[in-house]
Amino acid sequence: MTGGGVVLKLLREDSTGEMELSGTRSELLILVRDLRIGQGEIDMAKISDPSPYGRSLSRIEIRKASGNLRISSSGDGESLEVEGGLESLALLADNIDGFALEADQDDHLHVDYFPEHDYLADGSESLVVCIEGDAPELS
């Protein structure tokens, strides 16, 4: 497992499919590293009361595959699977990297599929990325 000591949070509302990933800037940059190498599994902090979301997911699994990136919930419902070609994974990594380094605390990043998207595959689930806490930026 990669990402030891990471306490990212991943919340999901099953009725809408909406998901929110939050963590400190440093934690988001660990996710960026795993996206760039095209593999990894990061355990998430389990949230007992994920309101307004329905539940808390326990891990993110990143796998290299061919083609555009697909973001989806796993069959067991406990993890988020991020799977795609290295180029697509790198584009998502670049977006999260820029967001983690430059965004204000109140900002958030939407990762949503639309026709002719640069790196997301049709059917990818929507993800909102948020910065949490006041951790210093990595240099």
Per residue in 82-122, pLDDT (tens digit) is 999 999 999 999 999 999 999 988 899 999 999 999 999 99
The CA distance from 125 to 2, in Å, is 23
Look over the chain and give the mean of its residue pLDDT values, rounded to a whole number: 89
- Local confidence band at 2 (pLDDT 50, 70, 90 cut-offs): very low
The CA distance from 129 to 109, in Å, is 5
Amino acid at 3: G
Query: Which burial class, exposed, middle or buried, applies to 103 when counting CB atoms under 10 A from its CB (0-12, 13-18, 19+)?
Result: middle
**pLDDT in the model for residue 136:** 43
What b/e sequence results for 104-124 when a residue is b if at least 16 CB atoms lie within 10 Å of its CB, and e otherwise? eeeeebebebeeebebbbeeb
pTM for the structure as a whole: 0.87
Q: Is 52's pLDDT higher than 50?
A: yes
Nearest Cα to Cα of residue 35 among 80, 77, 91? 91
Residue 1 or residue 114, greater confidence? 114
**pLDDT in the model for residue 105:** 84
- Local confidence band at 14 (pLDDT 50, 70, 90 cut-offs): confident
Peptide bond into 52 cis (omega under 30): yes
**pLDDT in the model for residue 1:** 42
For residues 11 and 50, the answer to whether their CB atoms sit within 8 Å is yes
